[in-house]
Amino acid sequence: MRAVFLLLPLALAACTAGQPGIEVRTVRVPVPQPCLPADQIPPEPSRVGDTLTGDAASDLVIVAASSLLLRAWGQEMHAALVACAP
């Protein structure tokens, strides 16, 4: 009980301490700006996972064609990104 009487003034003193001040600052945050309009971004080629049959010979043709489409799309995207670079 005696400890409570000793700690009570300390607890009340903590309540009377000044609150930390609030400081309002304006911080400028860089926001990325698109260099291409959304309608000029080349669409991603369709996925071929659903068209695979399980037969290696026929799937090779499907995957090879998809690979060529993805390569062409990647080259378009690369050209667009190079045009955006400063």
Note the pLDDT of residue 39.
85
**Distance from C-alpha of 73 to C-alpha of 43, rounded to nearest angstrom:** 8
Model pLDDT for residues 8-51, shown as the tens digit of each residue? 776 666 665 566 778 899 999 888 777 888 888 889 999 999 99
- Domain spans in the chain, listed from the N-terminal domain onward: 45-86
Give CA separation, 4 vs 11, 12, 21, in Å. Answer: 10, 12, 31
Task: Give pLDDT, residue 12.
Answer: 67
Distances (CA, A) of 3 to 7, 10, 11, 14, 24: 6, 11, 12, 17, 42
In which band, very low, low, confident or very high, does the pLDDT at 4 lie, cut at 50, 70 and 90?
Answer: low
- Cα–Cα distance list, 44 to 3, 9, 54, 75, 77 (Å): 72, 70, 24, 12, 10
* pTM higher than the cut 0.85: no
